[in-house]
Structure 1
Amino acid sequence: MASHRRPPASGFTGGARVALLSAAVATAAAALGTAPAGADPSTTGPAATSAQVDRLYEQAEKATERYNEAAEHVDELGDQVARARERAARGQEDVNRMRDAVGSLAGAHYRSGGVDPALALLLSGDPDTYLDRAALLERLGDREAAVLTDLRRAQRRLGQERSEAARKLAELERTKTALARHKRAVEAKLATAERLLSSLSAAQRAAYGAVSRSGRAVPDPAGGAGPSSARAAAAVAAARSALGKPYVWGANGPHGFDCSGLTQWSYARAGVGLPRTSQAQRYAGRQVPLSQARPGDLVTYRSDASHVAMYVGNGQVVHAPYPGAAVRHDPVGMMPIASVTRP
Structure 2
Amino acid sequence: MASHRRPKQPSRTRVTVLTATAAAAVALTSQAAHADPKPTKKEVKAKVDKLYEEAEVATEKFNGAKEKQEKLEQQVGDLQDKVARGQEELNELRNGLGSMATAQYRSGGIDPSVQLMLSSDPDSYLDRASTLDQLSGKQADELRKIADKQRALKQQREEASDKLEELADTRKALGGKKKEIQGKLSEAQSLLNNLTAKEKAAMAAADARASRASSSRADLGNDVPESQRAAAALNAAKTKIGSPYVWGATGPSSFDCSGLTSWAYSQAGVSLPRMSQDQMNAGTRIGQADLKPGDLVIFYGDAHHVGLYAGNGQVLHAPKPGANVRFEAIGNMPFNTGVRI
Q: Taking structure 1 as the reference length, what is the TM-score of the superposition? A: 0.75
For residues 1-343 of structure 1, the aligned pairs below 5 Å read 44-114=39-109, 141-200=136-195, 201-206=199-204, 209=207, 224-343=222-341
The whole-number CA distance in structure 2 between the counterparts of 1:114 and 1:155 is: 30
Given residue 324 of structure 1, which amino acid in structure 2 is its aligned partner? G
The whole-number CA distance in structure 1 between the counterparts of 2:333 and 2:142 is: 69
Deviations 1:231-281 (A, max 9, x none): 111101111000001111000000100000000000000000000011111
Given residue 286 of structure 1, which amino acid in structure 2 is its aligned partner? T
Given residue 338 of structure 1, which amino acid in structure 2 is its aligned partner? N
The 8 Å contact of residues 54 and 184 in structure 2, kept in 1 or not, is answered as: yes
Structure index of larger Rg: 2
The 8 Å contact of residues 46 and 204 in structure 1, kept in 2 or not, is answered as: no
Q: Could you say what secondary structure the match of 1:186 adopts? A: helix
Q: Could you say what secondary structure the match of 1:303 adopts? A: coil
Deviation at 1:180, TM superposition (A): 0.7
The 8 Å contact of residues 294 and 311 in structure 1, kept in 2 or not, is answered as: yes
The whole-number CA distance in structure 2 between the counterparts of 1:196 and 1:204 is: 15
Where in structure 2 are there 5+ consecutive unaligned residues?
Answer: 1-35, 111-134
Deviation at 1:225, TM superposition (A): 2.5
Deviations 1:36-70 (A, max 9, x none): xxxx99x9422221111121111100000010000
The 8 Å contact of residues 197 and 205 in structure 1, kept in 2 or not, is answered as: no
Q: Between 203-212 and 268-277, report the one with greater CA deviation.
A: 203-212
Deviation at 1:207, TM superposition (A): 7.2
The whole-number CA distance in structure 1 between the counterparts of 2:62 and 2:224 is: 34
- 1:69/1:212 Cα in 2 relative to 1: closer, same or farther (>3 Å)? farther
Where in structure 1 are there 5+ consecutive unaligned residues?
Answer: 1-39, 116-139
Compare the two structures and name the one with the higher helix fraction. Answer: 2
Deviation at 1:169, TM superposition (A): 1.3
The whole-number CA distance in structure 2 between the counterparts of 1:81 and 1:323 is: 34
- How many residues in Structure 1 have an aligned counterpart in Structure 2? 276
- 1:251/1:312 Cα in 2 relative to 1: closer, same or farther (>3 Å)? same
Deviations 1:78-123 (A, max 9, x none): 10001001111111111011101110111112211449xxxxxxxx
Deviation at 1:210, TM superposition (A): 7.9
Given residue 295 of structure 1, which amino acid in structure 2 is its aligned partner? P
Greater RCO, CA 8 A, separation 6+: 1
Q: Taking structure 2 as the reference length, what is the TM-score of the superposition? A: 0.76
Given residue 291 of structure 1, which amino acid in structure 2 is its aligned partner? A
Q: Could you say what secondary structure the match of 1:333 adopts? A: helix
Query: 2:31 maps to what in 1?
Result: none
The 8 Å contact of residues 223 and 312 in structure 2, kept in 1 or not, is answered as: no
Deviation at 1:294, TM superposition (A): 0.5
